[in-house]
Amino acid sequence: MTSNKREKSLIVIQLSGGNDYLNTVVPYGEGKYYDSRTTVNIPQNRVIPVTDKLGFNPSMGPIKALWDENKVAVINGIGYENPNRSHFRSMDIWHTAEPDIIGKEGWLGRAIRDMDPLGENVLTGINFGRGLPRALACPGVSVASVGDLETYGLFPDVQDEELRMFTLEAFSKMYGGAAGRDPVMDLLGQTGKDALQGADILRTAPGMYSSSVEYAPDSLAQNVKSISQVFHANLGTKVLYTQHGPFDTHSGELLSHAKLWNEVSGAIGSLMEDLKEHGTEDDATILVFSEFGRRIKDNGSGSDHGSGGGAFIIGGAVNGGMYGEYPSLAEAEQIEGDLRSNNDFRSVYTNIVEDWLELDAAPIVNGQFEKFDIFKS
């Protein structure tokens, strides 16, 4: 094992579509769970027990192994007041940390701005996958979005090297003109120059990486492998983001949810093995979250949009265990047939921002929130 200690980084895995928390952290010791989930349930003999009342989905074996090493923190009943069951609005709330108004900045975009206020490193934040999650969007903050690290770059389809260099030079001149033409053109110019610089640096990452860990061929595992390559290239990247899904399991849930969690657990297990091999498992923390949970009662073959979900914080610097009370399934405690959240998601953000990234949390998460003792001192 080599040792290559670096600054702390945050890896985010977004479970898009609304992960079924009840079938992820399963209350197998609660009769009301089986009364409510007459079809879409995890039988007691298939649950992976972690306490005498709660257990993991049977597809979460690699995460259970990390749990046994005290590297997995489960945050129960996470959400916000007045839950919104729209994918788009609820995800926007999580991305901007603004439950009451339409936010203009992503919470991680604000964090990146605080970590690199002068914008000196265009690779402080990177998204692995298509598009740019709102969590990373913030005026004046450059974030690279990488679809495939192996082919990443500008004009990668131009095979002739001389033609490609000519095209790149023209692109550079187009974005490198005189400043002050107008604000829009200045922004486009800076974006273009940042893209050029970021692409040039990122192309070196795969060649700097060596590992005996074999990642699965699914899209999440390959994105997580790219995350490891960039993280271990020591490019100063502090936030590495990707997403997986769809977890919108209205029908056929038992098979699709098991497949998804097999992929998520496998990717996280491989990443943690990779970090351990490189002696860096104390330098990266993984946040796994989804925009909401599912309803308590199943619909016959799946589950519909609900509230009161769960999140995971995983890493070598984590104090593993259950955090927060598991929401009650009693009808008197429900919100229109949904789990009532016990913990504001911004409390977890505060933990990460203050205790891991070592930044002032209040302006990033839009307020002050109580936090757990999730990280080792």
Say what the pLDDT of residue 166 is: 54
Averaged confidence pLDDT in the chain: 90
Is the model's pLDDT at 5 over the cut of 90?
A: no
Q: How confident is the model at residue 169 (pLDDT cuts 50, 70, 90)?
A: low
Q: What's the confidence (pLDDT) of residue 148?
A: 84
Question: Taking the CA atoms of the chain, what radius of gyration do you get in angstroms?
Answer: 21
Q: Evaluate whether 2 touches 212 at the Cβ level (below 8 Å).
A: no
pLDDT reading at 46 higher than 50:
yes
The SS3 of residue 337 is: coil
According to DSSP, the β-strands at 55-56 and 48-49 are antiparallel
Cis before 117? omega within 30:
no
What is the full DSSP assignment across 59-123? T-HHHHHHHHTT-EEEEEEEE-SS----HHHHHHHHHHT-SSS--SS-HHHHHHHHHSTT---TT
Tell me the C-alpha to C-alpha distance, in Å, between residue 224 and each of 270, 315, 331. Answer: 9, 15, 40
pLDDT tens digits for 62-108? Answer: 999 999 999 999 999 999 999 999 999 999 999 999 999 999 999 99
Per the CB < 8 A criterion, the answer to whether 261 and 145 are in contact is no
The CATH 3.40.720 portion of the chain extends over 9-150+214-365
Q: How many CA atoms lie within 13 A of 175 on its CB side?
A: 16
Q: What angle do CA 309, 310, 315 make, to 5 degrees?
A: 160
pTM: 0.90
Considering the domain delimited by 9-150+214-365, tell me its CATH architecture.
3-Layer(aba) Sandwich (3.40)
167: DSSP letter: H
Determine the Cα–Cα distance for residues 19 and 267; give it in Å rounded to an integer. Answer: 17
Evaluate if residue 191 carries a pLDDT over 60: no
Average of pLDDT values for 35-55? 98
Q: 4 or 199, which is more confident?
A: 199
Beta bridge partners of residue 128, listed in sequence order: 146, 242
Residue 246, pLDDT > 60, answer: yes
pLDDT reading at 194 higher than 80: no
Cα gap 269→201, rounded to integer Å: 28
Which amino acid, one-letter code, is at 242? T
Q: How confident is the model at residue 145 (pLDDT cuts 50, 70, 90)?
A: confident
At residue 71, the pLDDT reads 98
> What confidence score (pLDDT) does residue 188 get?
41
200-244 per-position pLDDT tens digit = 788 889 889 999 999 999 999 999 999 999 999 999 999 999 999
- Tell me the backbone φ, ψ of residue 33, rounded to 5 degrees: -65, -50
Residue 197 banded pLDDT, cuts 50, 70, 90: low
* 16 burial type by CB count under 10 A (0-12 exposed, 13-18 middle, 19+ buried): middle
Measure the CA dihedral 172/177/180/184, to 10°: -40
Residues 100/137/149/4 CA torsion (nearest 10 deg)? -90
* pLDDT at 183 > cutoff 60: no
Give residues with Cβ within 8 angstroms of 121, minimum separation 6.
Answer: 235, 236, 237
